[in-house]
Amino acid sequence: MSIKIERLCYSYNTGTPAETMALHDVSLTIERGEWISIVGHTGSGKSTLSQHMNAVLIPQSGLVEIDGVPVEPKTKNLRELRRKVGLVFQYPEQQFFSETVRDEIAFAPSNWGVKGDELQARVMEAARSVGLDDGLLESNPFALSGGQRRRVALASILSMKPDYLVLDEPTAGLDATGIRELVELLGELRSAGLAVVQATHDLQSAFEFSDRILVLEQGRGIAVGAPEEIARYLLDNPVHGLILPPLVRFSAGLAGRGLTIGLTSGLEGIIDVLEAARKPCGS
């Protein structure tokens, strides 16, 4: 089971002077249970690609296939594909329209005909899975903190029981604690079997958590691979607007001085290597 994207092309305002090529020949396959990060400078096509993954946008050429079903204008069950692949837009909390957190989370499943006890059970399950206290269910979503609002937005997608979760800049606008908590939460959801796809500027969390990373530059997929491979690629082929995190640059500096260290070893890996290098020979 997977989302398969092959040679996807997409332009906005086709056939007009304002035509913009947003994606050109992009290929990527996402297996269930994987964590994929899509990174790239502003305007590189991350949101356009994310929106193809749950059939908000339909390919103009190339292929998007969700669990074997191609996304095409004539596809009958686009609604089911949109349920299967939950898409969390950037700043989703700006789109809240319910007066309580409970109603916000219940909105999508109730539109699908889920009612009564089953609906309430879904709301509770989704709220708990994102760490929202039951006591907040009757609150106005706009009265919550930024991190809590992001959780409500996530719960409102999880209440549809998706198999894939696509998040467009999930950490945008959160403080350092909010980012850490959200990323840990995504890790838990992924451990529970959900695929996580995040479009992000945050290379540090992409290196730390992803199984694979796709780098977009001006609508083209220029590299895809494991974090270590992508860190090496970006070190050798700098991409405008993508700045390598300090820990990666520090690891690269150590490797350049003859120490054996992975570029994405992180702080603990760096400390281990430095301690080992300090010990006198034979101790």
Ligand X SMILES: Nc1ncnc2c1ncn2[C@@H]1O[C@H](COP(=O)(O)OP(=O)(O)OP(=O)(O)O)[C@@H](O)[C@H]1O
For the annotated catalytic residues, the residue numbers are 169
Determine if 42 is a binding residue for ligand X (CB under 6 A).
Answer: yes
Q: Find the part of the chain contacting ligand X (CB under 6 A) among 43-51, 126-134, 135-143, 256-264.
A: 43-51
Nearer to ligand X, 43 or 262 (CB): 43
Whole-number minimum distance, CB 200 to ligand X, in Å? 9
Q: Which among 189, 195, 185, 236 has a CA at the least distance from the CA of 215?
A: 236
Residues linked to residue 61 through DSSP beta bridges, in sequence order: 9
Task: Return the one option of ligand X, Mg ion, none that residue 45 interacts with (CB less than 5 to 8 A, by type).
Answer: ligand X
Task: Return the one option of ligand X, Mg ion, none that residue 43 interacts with (CB less than 5 to 8 A, by type).
Answer: ligand X
Q: Find the part of the chain contacting ligand X (CB under 6 A) among 36-44, 104-112, 120-128, 148-156.
A: 36-44
Nearer to ligand X, 199 or 231 (CB): 199
Determine if 40 is a binding residue for ligand X (CB under 6 A).
Answer: yes
Q: What is the side-by-side strand order in the sheet with 85-88? A: 85-88, 164-168, 195-200, 35-40, 212-217, 220-225
**257 three-class SS:** coil
Determine if 260 is a binding residue for ligand X (CB under 6 A).
Answer: no
Alpha-carbon gap, residue 63 to 56, rounded angstroms: 14
Residues linked to residue 161 through DSSP beta bridges, in sequence order: none
Integer CA distances (angstroms), 275 to 256, 259, 283, in order: 17, 11, 12
Candidate residues 37, 48, 171, 264; the one interacting with ligand X per rule CB under 6 A: 48
